[in-house]
């Protein structure tokens, strides 16, 4: 065999070998590609699972913090309610102590109100004789309330105190009213009260003026020259004239 033939046979054998070895490498490459793709997909899925777990963890942390905040709010509410309960307990204890003294207070009020009523009645009888029917009727109503067991102690005390306040108010300001002549039946006069300082009357024709003498418990005549001043004082008391300084007639002690 010639050298040329031998070379041809070698080249042909190498070419054949190359033809048969190329597909094996291609198959390995495809397998590697599939493995790489599978690994990439697995990595992506794993990353998604990690991200989902992170989201779940964040949600759980937020929920946990919200629960902690609710617990703090509940604790504050409970503490506040404890303060209220403590305050109410103190108030209830105070009310129980007060209720324990109610009977003692009631027992002390009854004689006190009786003494007040007697004092008011005595002061009326010893006072200037103005509006006597009205004042005596008021005291009778108070005494009737004090003797009635159906009237509560609060209402009894209110009536006694009201009578006392009215009597005190009589010592202030001027007051004029029409009434019966103090010594002559069937005759009407104008009375004028200067607080509790003086009480006078004047007949309708202004011809007669009298002032009450508290010392002697009697009426005494006043000179006619004081009629103008008394008339002006009556107008002021009735609101028919502007307020002004008035002079009250006083009975001399001599």
Strand stretches in 87-224, DSSP E: 174-180, 188-194, 198-203, 209-213, 218-221
More confident residue, 137 or 250: 137
5-58: per-residue pLDDT in tens? 544 444 444 444 444 444 566 677 777 677 667 767 667 777 777 677 777 777
- pLDDT, position 198: 92
Return the axis-axis angle of helices 102-126 and 3-100, rounded to nearest 10°: 50
The secondary structure of 5-25 as a DSSP string is HHHHHHHHHHHHHHHHHHHHH
More confident residue, 215 or 96: 215
Range of lowest pLDDT (84-88, 134-138, 182-186, 214-218): 84-88
pLDDT above 70 for 247:
yes
Mean pLDDT of the chain: 81
- pLDDT, position 114: 93
Pairing mode of beta strands 188-194, 198-203: antiparallel
Q: Where does the pLDDT of residue 122 fall: very low under 50, low under 70, confident under 90, or very high at 90 and above?
A: very high
Buried b (16+ CB within 10 A) or exposed e, 81-108: eeeeeeeeeeeeeeeeeeeeeeeeeeee
- Given a contact cutoff of 8 angstroms between Cβ atoms, the answer to whether 181 and 203 are in contact is yes
- Percent of the chain scoring above 70 in pLDDT: 82
Q: Where does the pLDDT of residue 158 fall: very low under 50, low under 70, confident under 90, or very high at 90 and above?
A: very high
- pLDDT, position 108: 79
More confident residue, 115 or 80: 115
pLDDT above 90 for 123:
yes
pTM: 0.57
Range of lowest pLDDT (29-33, 157-161, 223-227): 29-33
The predicted model gives 102-118 an average pLDDT of 84
Distance between CA atoms of residues 211 and 149, nearest Å: 43
Domain boundaries, the chain: 105-169, 174-237
Q: Where does the pLDDT of residue 132 fall: very low under 50, low under 70, confident under 90, or very high at 90 and above?
A: very high
Tokens representing residue 20 in the block:
């048969």
- pLDDT, position 78: 82
């Amino acid at each position: 065999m010639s050298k040329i033939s031998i070379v041809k046979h070698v080249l042909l054998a190498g070419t054949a070998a190359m033809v048969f070895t190329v597909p094996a490498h291609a198959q390995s490459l495809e397998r590697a590609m599939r493995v790489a793709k599978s690994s990439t997909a697995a990595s992506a899925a794993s990353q998604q699972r990690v991200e989902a777990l992170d989201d779940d963890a964040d949600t759980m942390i937020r929920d946990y913090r919200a629960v902690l905040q609710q617990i703090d709010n509940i604790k504050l509410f409970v503490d506040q309610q404890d303060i209220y309960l403590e305050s109410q307990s103190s108030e209830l204890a105070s009310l129980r102590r007060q209720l324990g003294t109610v009977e003692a207070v009631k027992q002390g009020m009854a004689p006190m109100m009786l003494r007040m009523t007697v004092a008011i009645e005595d002061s009326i009888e010893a006072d200037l004789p103005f509006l006597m029917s009205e004042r005596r009727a008021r005291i009778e109503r108070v005494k009737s309330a004090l003797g009635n067991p159906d009237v509560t102690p609060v209402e009894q005390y209110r009536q006694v105190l009201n009578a006392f306040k009215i009597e005190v108010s009589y010592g202030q300001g001027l007051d004029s009213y029409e009434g019966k002549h103090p010594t002559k039946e069937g005759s009407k006069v104008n009375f004028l009260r200067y607080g509790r300082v003086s009480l006078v009357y004047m007949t309708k024709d202004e011809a007669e003026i009298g002032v009450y003498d508290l010392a002697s418990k009697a009426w005494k005549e006043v000179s006619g020259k004081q009629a103008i001043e008394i008339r002006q004082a009556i107008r002021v008391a009735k609101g028919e004239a502007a307020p002004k300084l008035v002079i009250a007639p006083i009975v001399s002690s001599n």
